[in-house]
Amino acid sequence: MSGEKKLNPRSVDVTIGIRAPRKIKIYPLSVADELELTDIIKVAVTTFYEGQNKENAVFIGELVDLVKPNIKKILGMLVEEPVEEILADMTLDQLVNILEIVYKNNFEELIKKGRNLFKMLEQVPLDLER
């Protein structure tokens, strides 16, 4: 195992490219970046659910308006390479694959652990008379 992998075992190599496939390394988010991304996700989820009753064109327009200013910011949290170069060399399918990795690496296990923590806390008796 390489020294780099030992230092950050949650980093993932992903293949991107339209004409010449190449690998980029996706790093896990810091706590600060996770909190910032969570705010972006909350807006996206709200937009998604509110948009279910809208016409497709309006809904898609709102999602694009949300994604455009944030995609560079999100990729900047994940990679060391220049974001503009990555975007120019990436398909939407490859972007979705990266976003799935981000969810699995940064949020999926956190959600499970958070739910378990709250279940444990529910079982702890509170002594309110102290």
Q: Which residue has the tokens 């994604």?
A: 67
Output the pLDDT for position 124.
74
pTM over 0.85: no
Output the pLDDT for position 44.
77
Output the pLDDT for position 89.
94
Output the pLDDT for position 1.
47
> What does the pLDDT look like over 82-112, one tens digit per residue?
999 999 999 988 988 998 898 888 888 878 8
The end-to-end CA distance of the chain, in Å, is 53
Q: How far is 50 from 94, CA to CA, in rounded Å?
A: 27
pLDDT at 52 over 60: yes
**Beta carbons of 44 and 117 less than 8 angstroms apart:** no
Output the pLDDT for position 40.
85
* pLDDT mean over 37-49: 81
Give the dihedral sign, CA 107/113/116/121. negative
Strand partners of residue 13: 25
Running DSSP on this structure, what letter comes out for residue 2? -
Structure tokens given for 35:
């909190």
pLDDT bracket for residue 27 (50, 70, 90): very high
Q: How far is 69 from 67, CA to CA, in rounded Å?
A: 6
